[in-house]
Amino acid sequence: MNEVTRILSAVEQGDPRAAEQLLPLVYEELRKLAAQKLAHEKPGQTLEATALVHEAYLRLVGVDQAQHWNSRGHFFAAAAEAMRRILVDYARGKRSLKRGAGRRRRPFEEANLIAPRTDDDILAVHEALERLADADAEAAELVKLRFFAGFTSEQAAEAMGVSARTADRIWRYARAFLFKELNDAHS
């Protein structure tokens, strides 16, 4: 059992010092994961990787109910899911009328010409992923592990307890499903 798994077990059992020991061990990996997520966001994003890491960490460890993680990989998958939900909540908040949803800032940046991304895109992906989860929870879990947690096909297969071949089959199905859903949303 590695150090992270041992500390996760202590956190699960309610040891208050365990959460303090965990953050230094996982912080750099969480920061890389957050930077990876924010790299897909629209330029000019006001949410920074550090804030995303801290918010996700608080959602994972700072809750009243004890969390249960089977492994280090399971913890990072949960962290990726927490970050995805934070970004979705952030996009919804920016889109709400209270925050000026009708107004759009239009700075001229070359990056906007190359890869435009909007809050609507983030929400469309979220909604398509929710529909996939309704249709096939296993496929949605694989997408979260591969896309949001940055797992390779082999790592995701291992985390899910399926063969690499099965994970590849599920991945092909999930990509086709999401492609269709996102095309339908843009039509």
For 157-177, what is each residue's pLDDT tens digit? 988 899 999 999 999 999 899
pLDDT at residue number 162: 92
Question: Which residues lie closer than 8 Å to 41 by C-beta, 6 or more apart?
Answer: 47, 87, 117, 122
- CA distance linking residue 153 with residue 167, whole number of Å: 7
pLDDT at residue number 98: 58
Domain C-terminal end among 60, 82, 116: 116
- CA distance linking residue 12 with residue 94, whole number of Å: 34
Residues 145 and 88 in one domain: no
pLDDT at residue number 119: 63
Residues 110 and 131 in one domain: no
- CA distance linking residue 123 with residue 181, whole number of Å: 12
- CA distance linking residue 164 with residue 92, whole number of Å: 36
- CA distance linking residue 116 with residue 42, whole number of Å: 7
pLDDT at residue number 152: 86
Domain C-terminal end among 99, 116, 133: 116
- CA distance linking residue 133 with residue 177, whole number of Å: 11
- CA distance linking residue 55 with residue 157, whole number of Å: 28
Number of domains in the chain: 2
Residues of the chain with pLDDT under 70: 1, 16, 19, 42-46, 62-67, 69, 96-120, 186-187
SS3 content of the chain, % helix, strand, coil (to 5): 75, 0, 25
Domain residues for the domain of 6 are 1-116
Beta strand spans in 64-124 (E): none
- pTM given for the model: 0.52
Residues 122 and 168 in one domain: yes
pLDDT at residue number 113: 35
